[in-house]
Structure 1
Amino acid sequence: MEVSAPSIDRNTEAAVLDFLESDVGPHPADITRYVQRWQKVRTGELNAALGNGTVQEIEGDRVLLESLYEQWESVYFTIAEFEELLDDYAAFLDSRRRPDANG
């Protein structure tokens, strides 16, 4: 039996890549800074997290990820899904910097 990851549509893929590349960054310190900013959004201290390419805003129980340059259609994640994305990206970046990391 072959197990495959669930597929995502091209728009969502473009949104996530744009967000991670333009607003978070490629280093563990970048995700740490972003998560600190995101916590301010979660507590209501900030209305949204605004980056170089996207804006992330809580609408009810969902997170709106919107392109600042209309490069892709806006996408929504549940708050849990969005925070899982952040956790997964942090783990990915951490695995890349460890000397024993594969690849």
Structure 2
Amino acid sequence: MVRHRKRKTNIGLTEEHVMFEAVKSVLNGGLSIKASAARYSIARTTLTRYVKKCKDLQIDWDSASVEDVPRLSPRYDNRKIFSDQQEVILCDYLQTCAKLHHGMP
């Protein structure tokens, strides 16, 4: 197992408040999607998806906050196989087996 895994992509690293400001600049400020994506260093297709998601909502963008809009970050927890508790139990079990010098099949 690798001690320090090097991340190969930057998918999902955009913070929610940065995405909110980018969407707000497109829907309220009049910036194009391409210009806003370049200004905030966000992928253009990702920004387009979130702008489409927020465009039909009846939101006053002058006084809007991050809590007023739907989620502006990816949900990776919907693909989880084990719950957090199960992961902790499995990790403890594997560490115990390693200490007892049991080989894992």
Q: Which has the larger radius of gyration?
A: 2
TM-score, normalised by the number of residues in structure 2: 0.30
Q: More strand by proportion, 1 or 2?
A: 1
Higher relative contact order (CA 8 A, sep 6+): 2
TM-score, normalised by the number of residues in structure 1: 0.31
